[in-house]
Amino acid sequence: MQEPYLIELQKIGEEEIGYISVAQAASNVPFDIKRVYWIYQTPETVERGNHAHKNTLQLLICVRGKIKITLENRHRKIVEFVLDDPNQGLFIPNYYWRKLNFFDEAICLCLSSSDYSEEDYIREYQEFLS
Ligand code: T46
């Protein structure tokens, strides 16, 4: 079973002109990217996620603001990450139950190893544990 981990992305530029960060399947993303989507304007009172994926691998990047991501595996081991740096990505393997909380008008960029399919989601917590 793979573990989630943070990936330092390339950061090009300087304070005077700003920066470019790069996520590239060939170098720092541990899967082939099939789909990119982004989540924004989520109120701080809302908790997103509450599901796991059967096969999908993901890299989540907080391109603005701050996002707290809580991950749980099927042995009920919980790890928490705070993303607030656009040159950092969080790799999430399959079979991790996730909860996401957005702060400071956060925008979450999600790179995914699969096309969207509702079949790939486990949205019932008890089903996830079994
Ligand atoms: C994840 C976290 C980080 C689509 O039709 N196409 C898509 O590509 C996506 C991602 C979603 N949808 C539909 C499915 C639902 O009817 O958009 C609706 C909201 O999706 P969901 O409730 O899954 O949103 P989040 O923010 O809880 O989860 C999303 C991703 O779905 C999920 O894979 O890991 O972001």
23-42 pLDDT per residue, tens:
998 889 999 999 999 999 99
Of the residues 69, 97, 100, which should be mutated to test ligand 1's pocket, given the most ligand atoms within 8 Å of the CB? 100
Which atom from ligand 1 is nearest to the alpha carbon of 98?
Answer: 34
75 counts as catalytic: no
Q: CA of 107: how far to CAs of 8, 30, 48, 104, in Å? A: 18, 22, 13, 9
Q: Which residues of 31-50 are buried (b: 16+ CB within 10 A; e: fewer)?
A: bebeeeeebeebeeeeeebe
Q: Residue 91 Cα, ligand 1 centroid: separation in angstroms? A: 17
> 1 versus 97: which is more confidently predicted?
97
What confidence tens digit (pLDDT) does each residue in 42-56 have?
A: 999 999 999 999 999
Proportion of the chain above pLDDT 70, given as a percent = 100
Collect all residues with Cβ–Cβ distance below 8 Å to 88 and sequence separation of at least 6.
6, 7, 8, 9, 61, 62
- pTM given for the model: 0.97
- Whether the pLDDT of residue 61 is over 90: the answer is yes
